[in-house]
Amino acid sequence: MAGVLSEESGVGTSRVQQQVENEITPTLAPYRDTDEDDGEQKPSELYGKYTWKIEKFNQITKRELRSNAFEVGGYKWYILIYPQGCDVSDHLSLFLCVANHDKLLPGWSHFAQFTIAVINKDSKKSKYSDTLHRFWKKEHDRGWKKFMELSKVNGHDGFVDYSDNLIIKAQVQVIREKPDRPFRCLDCQYRRELVKVYLTNVEQICRRFVEERRSKLGKLIEDKARWLSFSAFWSKIDQTSRRRISREKTDVILKVVVKHFFIMKDITSTLVMESLYSGLKALEGQTSKKEWKKLLDSEKIPTPIVRVENDMFVLVDDVLLLLERAATEPLPPKDEKGPQNCTKVRFRIIFVKATKDLLDDS
């Protein structure tokens, strides 16, 4: 098989159990729960589900078994299983494959996030696995050799029903990535499901990025000689030059944001993009006035330190004041869950990137 994940990669032991562990009761959705029309195909139009009922599972003698082909995002796919394992013993191997890959035009490429589940009669015990992969000529399949132990499949754990049927479900989200700005990439319902599983991971990624940059900025401010030197340099600059330095084209900043956070093999990359997309829309004033007022009135969201004017990011106050604020204003506690936490971190990421060139020059 071309695309094989280790048994640990992207595997969720119990989707329902993980959802409960990361459950939040939001007062405002941390992601924009809409499917805006930007003239391109919406994520919901590139998403699909497929259910495969395998009858008489324990009587199968074939080494491998394929589902019927199904279409998602304009592409045809199928599920491939090895009832006795692929190059392993005592495990069910399971893969998502591109149908008729040998007949596709040269240079073809399908980028998708997908979830495959073996369904248990007790939904809380169903076994889920998620991953993100770019399918192409040499990697036209992706999956898990050790998806789950055969003893659990064939035992009395509820995966094979009384009629010896096994049910496998797939969710496939084809992604049209953009290199120049954060983008929507997930169907709303699929995103809500993934958020409940991976929210903590997304927050850790964003927090780690912000804390690393804040640490560098804090060291600059703590170094009295360097900070006084920079302050003196800034005070001597005329107002026109200050205004010019305090702004940058959104395309310049957003390309860096996407390059840093959209990692092809990282299952959480799509959720990070969705989060940054929501933060950007809020900065652009496309969040409804009611939602925006609710955020600010919550006293948990600081006033943004950048604003968007046409195609520019603009700092909202004097650079020295904003740098000190960025370095000293506390982040939400690590155990604080909910949409406010996500939104704060999104605003800080945009600001840190917006001041990157200024700090590099200093």
Looking at this protein, which amino acid is placed at residue 299? E
Domain co-membership, 59 together with 157: yes
In sequence order, the β-bridge partners of residue 203 are: none
Domain membership flag for residue 344:
yes
- Among 174, 197, 228, identify where a domain stops: 174
CATH of the domain at 29: 2.60.210.10
- Among 174, 200, 217, identify where a domain stops: 174
Q: Which two tokens stand for residue 189?
A: 């319902």
Domain membership flag for residue 312:
yes
Domain membership flag for residue 183:
no
Q: Can you give the pLDDT at residue 194?
A: 94
Q: Which two tokens stand for residue 140?
A: 């036209």
Domain co-membership, 193 together with 169: no
Instruction: Judge contact between 3 and 139, C-beta under 8 A.
Output: yes
Full DSSP string of 177-208:
--SSS----S-HHHHHHHHHHHHHHHHHHHHH
Q: How many domains does the chain have?
A: 2
Domain co-membership, 143 together with 210: no
Domain membership flag for residue 225:
yes
pLDDT in tens, 217-271: 999 999 999 999 999 999 999 999 999 999 999 999 999 989 999 988 889 999 9
* Interhelix angle 269-283/339-354, nearest 10 degrees: 80
Domain co-membership, 346 together with 198: yes
Domain co-membership, 168 together with 247: no
Domain co-membership, 62 together with 161: yes
Domain membership flag for residue 258:
yes
Q: Can you give the pLDDT at residue 41?
A: 84
- Among 152, 174, 196, identify where a domain stops: 174
Instruction: Judge contact between 117 and 143, C-beta under 8 A.
Output: no
Domain membership flag for residue 286:
yes
pLDDT in tens, 117-126: 999 999 889 9
Looking at this protein, which amino acid is placed at residue 83? P
Q: Can you give the pLDDT at residue 325?
A: 87
Domain co-membership, 224 together with 120: no
Domain membership flag for residue 306:
yes
Task: Provide the CB-side half-sphere exposure for 261 (13 A, CA).
Answer: 36
The parts of the chain modelled with pLDDT lower than 50 are 6-29, 287-288, 338-340, 343-344, 347, 350-359, 361-362
Domain membership flag for residue 182:
no
Residue 232 is part of which domain span?
Answer: 188-361
Q: Can you give the pLDDT at residue 302?
A: 61
